[in-house]
Structure 1
Amino acid sequence: MNRLIGLVLLLAGLAYPFAVYYGQQHLAPRFFALLLGGLWLARFLSQGQKPGSRGMAIAALGFCVLLGLADSPTLLRWYPALISLFGLTLFGLSLKYGPPMVERLARLHEPELPEVAIAYTRQVTKVWVGFFIFNAALVSALTLWAPLSWWTLYTGLISYVLMGMLFAGEWLVRQRVRGHV
């Protein structure tokens, strides 16, 4: 059930910028708050005792409550920045308390990582921290000063292209480092 909720949240996040673009003319922000809040509440209730996930769910629920009370179309545009801050928090705290997030992911495929790979995963985690800082700052700037169409283009397409390029670039570097290219 937890994976299904995670998948629905992911799909809702992908569709969110376009839903805001279309919905701002047709739906009250409270409608978005209710939908998002329901998904995040389900995630919260299904998380068990995972502190980081529960903390993110509580923060997202707080955002949904604020959105519902304010019923502000402008507030709708802050959700992608919040999600970037979640990524920043997860990756950043993993650098402090370890193991780094990229190392955790790498160990899913290769449980016994050599020391050089562990150092490499730490550096890649730092790159992702930088990306999340950049993304949150740019989404915030677009929210404050850009037209809705620019915000939608960036949060609904360009940011995902940038993430894909980062994934692909890291994969190419990893292949070179491992001697496979």
Structure 2
Amino acid sequence: MPAWLAAVAGLIIPALFWLFHYLGWPLWLLGIVLIPLAWHKRAALPGLAWLAPVAGVFGVLALLMRSDLPVRLYPVLVNVAMLIVFALSLKAPQTMIERMARLTEPDLPESGVRYTRRVTIAWCLFFAINGSIALATVLYNDARVWTIYNGLIAYVLIGLMLGGEWLIRQRVRRHG
């Protein structure tokens, strides 16, 4: 499965959840969207290759159980996976953000290494908080609340985090 198709499948689940809910269709049918992710072998970040097969298992469970719970838990799974990968990288020689930074700046100065460590910690906090809120929307058991948060607000927050970090990085670079 092409990487772009797996990404689209992951992104449209909340929108499809809302559509199925609106049309009165069984929400557990959305497990069909998760199953193809099992064949997606490439992970955008090191350490996340296991996420695609687990998503496929969630899809199969949704269909077998005739329950939307595995589909609604998918955003929680993604946040937990990202938190684990980023947190484990804090113990590695290079943090996840440092690895990404070195793709464009191979000779990253020591100040950049310290900065990327702090950004990795910030992303860990983000994934912990975002995943907790995603879980709260599952436990609240309101499809509208789940869809609005996981299909809109979470993506806006990710964009704000990325944009805010970029602005801070520009300022840090200017000031040494």
Alignment TM-score, normalising by the size of structure 1:
0.85
Please list, as runs of the form range in 1=range in 2, the aligned pairs for 1:77-116 lying within 5 A after superposition: 77-116=72-111
2:122 corresponds to 1:124: no
The aligned residue for residue 25 of structure 2 is 26
The aligned residue for residue 6 of structure 1 is 3
SS at match of 2:48: helix
Deviation at 1:26, TM superposition (A): 1.9
Please list, as runs of the form range in 1=range in 2, the aligned pairs for 1:1-181 lying within 5 A after superposition: 5-24=2-21, 25-27=24-26, 29=28, 31-38=29-36, 40-44=37-41, 47=42, 52-179=47-174
CA distance in 1, matches of 2:57, 2:107: 40
CA distance in 2, matches of 1:87, 1:120: 19
Deviates more, 1:136-145 or 1:74-83: 74-83
Q: 1:95 to 1:88 in 2, by over 3 A?
A: same
Aligned residues: 172
Deviates more, 1:8-17 or 1:99-108: 8-17
Deviations 1:33-86 (A, max 9, x none): 233112x22213xx49x9823322332233223222211023321111111112
SS at match of 1:26: coil
CA distance in 1, matches of 2:93, 2:35: 30
SS at match of 1:111: coil
SS at match of 2:91: helix
Query: Where does the alignment leave 5 or more consecutive residues of structure 1 unmatched?
Result: none
Q: 1:96 to 1:73 in 2, by over 3 A?
A: same
TM superposition outliers: structure 1 runs of 4+ over 3 Å: none
CA distance in 2, matches of 1:146, 1:72: 12
Contact 2:80–2:127 (Cα < 8 Å) also in 1: yes
Deviation at 1:28, TM superposition (A): 5.3
CA distance in 1, matches of 2:168, 2:158: 15
For the aligned residues, what is the CA RMSD? 2.2
Higher relative contact order (CA 8 A, sep 6+): 1
Contact 2:40–2:52 (Cα < 8 Å) also in 1: yes
Higher-helix-fraction structure: 1
The code of the aligned residue for 2:31 comes to A
